[in-house]
Structure 1
């Protein structure tokens, strides 16, 4: 079976090379590999077969990538930019969004290969279930951008086009194909979970049981806690969930020889209900290998099963190689296969003298969880740092604390749903689902509670935005590599472990001391189409606004920036007004670190909903709320922070605060989204010095940043906080005004984070 593993891994290597290093010329690479295989036949006998297999598998991988690109991808991409009438079949239930809805469907256009598309539904739209046949006329675009930025997310899922209907989408019928049964069952399970469990528990269980994470990540506090603690994998359906499912089946099916008979169809159904995500397909294929090996009187070989699973996924869609979830799933599984048993034996060394068999089994069972968690992190941690810029320090402890409850919640959840579908709402056993739901909710609530508690631990995670953390991570893996190379010399791992811990502490101390010594800095964070400005002075932090409508989580961007600089607290949070692109990152920011006070304008009636949102977050975070009704100033480290009360009343923009931050002779002014009229009122009612830095109003709207403002304040520098948008920001008129006044302009959409420092 190891020959199959050699072939499969080589095939996969070729596909990954095609995606990342050789985007074209796949057939040339295939021919070169095939020629290399022919030449390999001239090698000595002991190397001949393996070298030939590797090179032929590489040729097959390059050829598969080329064929998929030529016969599928390029023909589908021919629809990019076209408007035409089309038919499609929904592959899942339509999902509600802020603007209407969206649904993934399989497109049927004559002369074009069938492919998945993301169909956007605006306004009122019909109920759409998996298997519904749809008819529409719309404009097609390549699914390679998200909020104006290039992305691989859709291609990796096999979704190559997005469609924007010109008119209503019509449901013309329903497919009777059994292929849509898992998606329909998944929707029914989702509805049943919603009916049986409290809201937050239901959100968690939908993610745990069927991989439905849309509502989970809508709960920013919970989503942030999962990321910080490295436990997000528990709600990403993968090998752990397949193991839970098979263990549950094993408890119900006492005779093991019947397990494959029931397990194969149940496993296929479960993969379909989870949307055939790469991580669950990988786990499902490996489980099939495990169950099938005894039937064919062969031993199961996990590396072979892992490589074969990856190969099958990439044959179906080579672009799956770009899937972050697939990379993390396979790297974690490879880490388990390579290191878990070795780590477990190392952890058992102190108990080697224990003679009692029962005690040794108990010790082994207790140590297997931390050994598995650390082993899985061994290869997945670099990918997590690369893709997300996060290293969760508390992940092993958090996983150890909650995995038993996750397993229990999964098994009880499956039993609850089976009981709910069998008994129905009436009958002698109608009480059973509610009773089981109560029991299921207990471990579910424990997981949610524990994850949030661990997320509040100081330095639960560190960020690679800090170059010292990146250097430490490289140092850590060099130590691990050295330990592996010296294993024949029986090197003691205690010394590398101590060195890595000491070096991490040194990095954190250096970062904290360096940040505390900053005299003054102002940073406009790149949050997309929104605003978030950070003032730092002598260890104190003030943040003005935190929001974005450009697809980025402004609170996440803020948290990464501050914690990467060793900051663990925000002294004051100023919200200039209540629009979403200035406040919707607050929830994540408060989940990431404590805030002493939140300053904001007095709300009008139209602001009541947003004010209630902010107030509830402040109450939960134990942050004081300060309503600014008149001008106030405060000393923060080495700066003076002045908050100017609203001067207008016509809209939320005009009722916003202005902020002046002064450090010696360096003055920075933020006017929020004020219009030109409100700017002139602000100048008339208050005395301002000549300023050095202006944060351009309303993201560069032509209705802000007047010539009067520029001539009165005479700024030398200007920052425009802007991202992908359909408003025309920044307006050419504003850029011309700034140029005429000789102001140097810096834009977050072009530069990223923008920092100015003063000594």
Structure 2
């Protein structure tokens, strides 16, 4: 197990209380003063529909919030509006931590519009942009840097093995800036027999392979979110030994695209539930849908959108899809208890399925 506590991160959080004087920052620090007994409540996770990007909002029982990515720019603030609506439903008025997995437009692009609507106390990322494309990625990174400079919010550059200081939720960084954890977490470390059946892909040179991935633990429940981490990096992380152990909820990498989600990852982590933040025409690749459907121990695949590529043959059943053809804006919500039991709700229909503790 990783023992490093991330002292510099803890010191950074303390500095928020003394260095930031905004009402949002003060409210966040007060929330940290709530006794740890509060953490016996429910963890809520909102998978916001940003139509092929990512925006996943975690709200711990302490009331602290972690948002992973902010969706697309433009579109009349569509994605920022949807994130703020999810925050309102969760009963929060600020984002304590905004984690940017990488600097592609569908993940970082919505940051300027988001901070115009709701305060963000702390930003977390993997460090400088590495994809010098002289185009959209560099533009998105530059806009993000402007937000960091103008808001005065705290900024954490995360490294593999760091623990992020989110009260009520244990969050370990497992990948960042192309680097990976060197020691297993979550009881992992066993030989990964699925490596033999998983192809080898060439190295990805984009920001995808730099994704800031995290393993989140709430009591007995484990959740994995690797951003858009690619097949080659998955193999480094999972072969010859599985460094991640078994996972209850897998946030399907890369919107379910074929460049990620190798059998070496999906089969080895043995997810009970997979949740895919795909769009109708982005992600949800047939190879990924087939890999997830055949994953050992999988109880259910949920999708934010019906995948046009997957069609009726490969998509999950309609009641597990937030947005069927022609619809958008509906979200999926997970409510979890510390004993490892949880339920998933489709906001479109209110259909809910419960999963007992493992």
TM-score (norm 2): 0.63
1:652 aligns with 2:214: no
In the TM superposition, what are the counterparts of 1:46-65 in structure 2 within 5 Å?
none
**Would you say the 8 A contact 1:679–1:709 is kept in 2?**
yes
| Secondary structure at 1:531 match in 2 | coil
Q: Take 2:266 and 2:167, find their aligned partners in 1: how far apart are those partners?
A: 29
In the TM superposition, what are the counterparts of 1:404-483 in structure 2 within 5 Å?
none
Match of 1:692?
248
Equivalent residue in structure 2 for 1:536, among 37, 59, 63: 59
Quickly say closer, same or farther: Cα 1:718–1:619, change in 2 above 3 A: same
Q: Take 2:74 and 2:256, find their aligned partners in 1: how far apart are those partners?
A: 15
Q: Take 1:550 and 1:670, find their aligned partners in 2: how far apart are those partners?
A: 25
| Secondary structure at 1:662 match in 2 | strand
| Secondary structure at 1:678 match in 2 | helix
1:753 aligns with 2:331: yes
**Would you say the 8 A contact 1:569–1:595 is kept in 2?**
yes
Equivalent residue in structure 1 for 2:112, among 587, 597, 606: 587
Match of 1:625?
155
1:721 aligns with 2:252: no
Match of 2:290?
736
Equivalent residue in structure 1 for 2:143, among 613, 617, 634: 613
Q: Take 1:719 and 1:675, find their aligned partners in 2: how far apart are those partners?
A: 17
**Would you say the 8 A contact 2:108–2:141 is kept in 1?**
no
Quickly say closer, same or farther: Cα 1:553–1:457, change in 2 above 3 A: farther
User: Which runs of 5 or more residues in structure 1 are unaligned?
Assistant: 1-455, 459-514
Q: Take 1:550 and 1:594, find their aligned partners in 2: how far apart are those partners?
A: 19
For the aligned residue pairs, the C-alpha RMSD in angstroms reads: 2.6
**Would you say the 8 A contact 1:574–1:600 is kept in 2?**
yes
Equivalent residue in structure 2 for 1:576, among 97, 101, 104: 101
Q: Once the two structures are superposed, what CA deviation does each residue of 1:370-423 show, in whole Å capped at 9, x if it has no partner?
A: xxxxxxxxxxxxxxxxxxxxxxxxxxxxxxxxxxxxxxxxxxxxxxxxxxxxxx
| Secondary structure at 2:224 match in 1 | strand
1:701 aligns with 2:257: yes
1:545 aligns with 2:69: yes
Q: Once the two structures are superposed, what CA deviation does each residue of 1:580-611 show, in whole Å capped at 9, x if it has no partner?
A: 01112211221122212111112225154433
| Secondary structure at 1:543 match in 2 | strand
Give every structure 1 segment of 4 or more consecutive aligned residues whose post-TM-superposition deviation is greater than 4 Å: 515-518, 549-552
1:565 aligns with 2:83: no
**Would you say the 8 A contact 1:520–1:535 is kept in 2?**
yes
Q: Take 1:636 and 1:713, find their aligned partners in 2: how far apart are those partners?
A: 24
| Secondary structure at 2:302 match in 1 | strand
Q: Once the two structures are superposed, what CA deviation does each residue of 1:232-277 show, in whole Å capped at 9, x if it has no partner?
A: xxxxxxxxxxxxxxxxxxxxxxxxxxxxxxxxxxxxxxxxxxxxxx
User: Which runs of 5 or more residues in structure 2 are unaligned?
Assistant: 1-21, 25-37, 180-203, 306-320, 323-329, 338-358
The structure whose Rg is larger is 1
Cα offset for 1:549? 7.3
1:666 aligns with 2:196: no
Q: Take 1:714 and 1:586, find their aligned partners in 2: how far apart are those partners?
A: 33
In the TM superposition, what are the counterparts of 1:292-441 in structure 2 within 5 Å?
none
Cα offset for 1:457? 9.8
Q: Once the two structures are superposed, what CA deviation does each residue of 1:460-507 show, in whole Å capped at 9, x if it has no partner?
A: xxxxxxxxxxxxxxxxxxxxxxxxxxxxxxxxxxxxxxxxxxxxxxxx
**Would you say the 8 A contact 2:255–2:277 is kept in 1?**
yes
| Secondary structure at 2:288 match in 1 | helix
**Would you say the 8 A contact 1:517–1:539 is kept in 2?**
no
| Secondary structure at 1:553 match in 2 | helix
**Would you say the 8 A contact 1:691–1:716 is kept in 2?**
yes
Greater fraction of residues in helix: 1
| Secondary structure at 2:147 match in 1 | helix
Q: Take 1:666 and 1:715, find their aligned partners in 2: how far apart are those partners?
A: 11
Q: Take 1:642 and 1:600, find their aligned partners in 2: how far apart are those partners?
A: 13
Match of 1:601?
126
1:524 aligns with 2:54: no
Quickly say closer, same or farther: Cα 1:709–1:549, change in 2 above 3 A: farther
Match of 2:32?
none
Cα offset for 1:548? 3.2
Q: Take 1:647 and 1:575, find their aligned partners in 2: how far apart are those partners?
A: 14
Greater fraction of residues in strand: 2
Give the number of equivalent residue pairs.
246
In the TM superposition, what are the counterparts of 1:57-456 in structure 2 within 5 Å?
none
| Secondary structure at 2:96 match in 1 | strand
